Structure 1
Amino acid sequence: MFRRRLPLPPFPPGAVLVGGAARDWQRGVVAKDYDWAVPDPAGAAQQLAAQTGGSAFPLDEERGYWRVSAPGGIQHDLVPLPDDLTADLRRRDFTVNALGVLADGQVIDPVGGLADLRARRLRMVSAENLRADPLRAWRAARFEATLGFRLESATGAAVRSVAADLVGGALALPAAERIRDELHALLLHPEAARGLLRLEDLGLLALTLPELREGLGLTQGGFHHLDVFHHGLEALHQLLARRPDAPLPLRWAALLHDVGKPRTLARDPQTGRASFYGHDKVGAALAAQLLTRLKLPGDDIRRVSALVGAHMVPLPAGEREARRFVHRRRDLLPDLLSVMLADREAARGPASSEASRRAYAHAMSRVLAALEAQPAPPAPLLRGEDLMALLDTPPGPRIGQVSRALAEAAALGEVQTPEQARAFAVRWAQANPAPV
């Protein structure tokens, strides 16, 4: 059953609403992205911009593609109306996207998309269409998770065939940026973990995040009841349950926090117990490597790598240690705590207990209290020039060392005045002589 249909948006002259917005209108879902086929894209774009208070600009002037960015994050894409609209719709990926809506509400449905919408069924228009743009295979997994539909069997088989041909080189991989955008559309949904599992089932994860798959079947013991791969997915799920507005770098960090475990595995020859020493640092490097391959922005890559690299840092046992924790990792907070909690909540092995969970929560509360008490680092009590004059030391790494030690002492409340800072700096320099 469909929800009650929403009112149609204002139509540009002679326009047909196509694609996802036409699908969502049938489902009673408010769209944010509208695709229009219009006789005059440039003129229609200018008219829409004036009506909505948005801005119009060409996407591809040679082909006549235009876009309007309107207030509220609404986007309108306008392309020339084809001579044969039905033939154009038949070239689309899935039947539920091969719909057109006219201004009077009449629906153009050449391939049975309405029936598939009612059945919550995701069915390809044709296998040839999937192969014409292999990115549509990733889109199938995303639509399953985000629309709550189910791939019909022939479409699932066709997607697996596309994946096999991509692995074998018979088809060319889509551009990394396009795969990244599909992954991000999936990761931004509450059912992201389920969508990633579907990518694995369809043979697409090996083409996307092969490093993540290395954890399949790798048991851990201790606090963990899942293998490394499924633990990462569960950590993502736990994160989204607590922080549904989590930014993308935080979602990536939760998913990839243990990606370094397979490459650091060691087993005790007597007990068979697994250990993963250094997996945080190896994981930070692997996360940076795979996200660079997917062409994420550099700042996002550095953020994810830092969170993965810090997720094993012990939580503080007291208030002073909590202040030090905040001082040393302020730039990563509170996101680091979110990754650590998702990691902990994704583990339900034999070593887990309600008492250990309460102790972990109490330690996190200490950090949050320290962060609330000191949301920004205290202003420096001495400048670099002051330290150079005080210690009779030229600019260089030595002054940086003293400056960092002094900043931590100030954050811990051990020094509060310039006089105390000068005394601390002299004592620290004497107790920590520079190497000869």
Structure 2
Amino acid sequence: MFGRRAPLPVFPPGALLVGGAARDWLRGVPAKDFDWAVPDPAGAAQGLARVSGGAAFPLDAERGYWRVSAPGGVQHDLVPLPVDVTADLLRRDFTVNALGVWADGRVLDPAGGRADLRSRRLRMVSRENLRADPLRAWRAARFEGTLGFRLEVETEAAVREVAVDLGAGLLPMPAWERVRDELHALLGSEGAARGVARLEELGLLVLTVPELREGLGVAQGGFHHLDVFGHSLEALHQLLARRPDAPLTLRWAALLHDVGKARTRAVDPVTGRVSFHGHERVGAELSAGILTRLKLPGDEVRRVSALVGAHMLPLPANEREARRFVHRRRELLPDLLSLMLADREAARGPASSEASRRTYARGFERVLAALEEQPSAPPPLLGGQEIMALLGVPPGPRVGMAARALAEAAALGEVTTPDGARAFVRDWADGNPTT
């Protein structure tokens, strides 16, 4: 019907395969996440765990919800088989998800989902279903981006209504964790930039990352041919064109790298020149706030913020500067280079030229060569105790300063032996007196 169907998975006794896995089977797309409605969720979960070599555990023992985590990232969620299967399917979000498949291949399709699959059309089961769980508005944008479907007219209108009513406080805002998960599914797709643009068109971006919208209509000039918002989307597109496997933190950094520009824009009253001084610092702070609000883990928040804060660093003009660049930003590499290149390739304004692109490329080559020459930091030449003895001070900030200076000198190849390190620390102390 839609191409070669994938083989049906092993069904638990009396089970109905529902939702996305049923949809993907009809599309001929292998699935890793399986949703089952079964007469006995606990028993079926234990059976699946034995067959797959996975682990079964209850998600909600009171309601009989179970999950099996199997090797290879495969996951099975099991819920009790409803008395009225058709009514249960008709409570779902979109027709392409309101499908069920029995073990013998028979398909339950009470909402006409198979026709919508053929037409690559995303159609709501009902307006009431969308409003019952407003997160389904974000899911609509996500499915457009990840499935390559298009919202039909009435469904798009209903999604826009949900967005308006959420903004007016007439519907409850979904938990940020759930919104984050939908955003991550969208950002993880190859059409992530188009997906973010679609969030804006549907009125959902203002509810999600309003700070990003501040770049709409903010002209830049110089190297730039797009407004700040358009440039941010283009940078994400350029990133994924070169690194389709980019991690989510890098995708976030590309999207948010100029989020501070609207708040730092200034125009010289004499020349009329537009500037955004300090936008990387403001952007780093805004990025941290945005991702904290979306409940990302702290280490991911810090990494994105650091990448945004560093994206305007000048590229080195010689090999020594390249080694220093690598030493000081090693933890951000190579992601920082990918972000900087995406930023540069997304900017093709009147100031951009072939000569400037060649200069930029040479800077990248120097950094990559230095990183290849020294992929990890050299081991410390002196321990903290010896540095304290050389300085004649107890543990404290001064010891850390000396250790960092020594580490950089070693990374630059200026110090290579313990004796040379001791001499360096003594010279450093003479040049950095405590008073």
List aligned pairs for 1:13-412, cutoff 5 A: 13-412=13-412
| Post-superposition CA distance 1:25-57 (Å, at most 9, x none) | 111111111111110011111111111111111
The amino acid of 1:144's aligned partner reads: E
Letter aligned with residue 15 of structure 1: A
Alpha-carbon offset, residue 271 of structure 1:
3.1
Shift of 1:273: 2.0
Encode CA deviations 1:303-352: one digit per residue, 9 max, x unaligned. Answer: 10111111111110000000000111111111111111111111111111
Q: Secondary structure at the match of 2:17?
A: strand
- TM-aligned CA deviation for residue 268 of structure 1: 1.2
Corresponding residue of 2:416: 416
Matched to 2:382, the amino acid is: L
Shift of 1:433: 2.1
For the residues of structure 2 that align with 1:389 and 1:23, how far apart are their CA atoms? 69
> Aligned pairs, how many?
435
Identity of aligned residues (%): 77
Instruction: Please state how far the C-alpha of 1:416 moved relative to its aligned partner.
Output: 1.0
Aligned partner of residue 171 in structure 2, secondary structure: coil
Instruction: Quote the Cα distance in structure 2 between the aligned partners of 1:13 and 1:190.
Output: 37
Query: Which whole-Å CA distance do the structure 2 matches of 1:376 and 1:5 have between them?
Result: 47
Secondary structure of 2:223's match? coil
Secondary structure at 1:203's aligned position in 2?
Answer: coil
Distance 2:144 2:172 in 1: 24
Q: Distance in 2 between matches of 1:294 and 1:50?
A: 37
The one-letter code sitting in structure 2 at the alignment partner of 1:183 is: L
SS in 2 for 1:14: coil
Distance 1:137 1:67 in 2: 26
Q: Root-mean-square deviation (CA), in Å?
A: 1.0
Q: CA deviation at 1:253?
A: 0.7
Q: Residue by residue, what CA displacement relative to the aligned partner does 1:274-331 show, whole Å, maximum 9, x if unpaired?
A: 1111111111110000100000000100110111111111110000000000111111
Deviation larger for 411-420 or 147-156: 411-420
Deviation at 1:134, TM superposition (A): 0.1
- Give the letter for the 1:426 counterpart: R
**Whole-Å Cα distance in 1 between the matches of residues 398 and 247 of structure 2?**
38
Amino acid at match of 1:162: V
- In 1, distance between residues paired with 2:415 and 2:323? 14
Distance 1:4 1:200 in 2: 36
Q: CA offset at residue 423 of structure 1?
A: 1.6
The letter for the 1-side match of 2:114 is: L
Secondary structure class of the residue paired with 1:79: strand
Structure 2 unaligned segments of length 5 or more: list them: none
> Residues 249-271 of structure 1, C-alpha deviation per residue, up to 9 Å, x if partnerless?
11111111111111111111233
Alpha-carbon distance in 1 for matches of 2:229, 2:254 = 12
Q: Deviations over 1:340-365 (max 9, x none)?
A: 11111111111112222122122111
Matched residue of 1:30: which SS? Answer: coil
Distance 2:391 2:37 in 1: 73
* Cα distance in 1 for residues equivalent to 2:387 and 2:102: 74
Residue 226 of structure 1 deviates from its aligned partner by 0.8
Give the counterpart letter for 1:396 in structure 2: G
Distance in 2 between residues matched to 1:121 and 1:327, nearest whole Å: 51
* TM-score of the two chains, using structure 2 as the length reference: 0.98
Normalised by the length of structure 1, the TM-score is: 0.98
- The Cα shift of 1:4 comes to 1.4
Distance of 1:13 and 1:355 partners within structure 2? 68
Take 2:270 and 2:156, find their aligned partners in 1: how far apart are those partners?
Answer: 45
One-letter amino acid of the structure 2 residue matched with residue 261 of structure 1:
K
1:419 is paired with a residue whose SS is: helix
Q: Matched residue of 2:165: which SS?
A: helix
Structure 1 residue 398 displacement after superposition = 1.5
Between 1:177-186 and 1:390-399, the stretch displaced more is: 390-399
- The amino acid across from 1:204 in the alignment is L
The Cα offsets for residues 216-273 of structure 1, whole Å up to 9 and x where unpaired, read as 1101111111111111111111111111111111111111111111111111123332
Question: Structure 1: which amino acid aligns with 2:106?
Answer: Q
Structure 1 portions without partners, runs of 5+: none
Letter of the 1:428 counterpart: W
Distance 1:58 1:198 in 2: 37
Deviates more, 1:386-395 or 1:114-123: 386-395
Amino acid at match of 2:2: F
Taking the aligned partners of 1:387 and 1:49, their CA distance within structure 2 comes to 56
* Alpha-carbon distance change, 387 to 7 in structure 1, aligned in 2, over 3 angstroms: closer
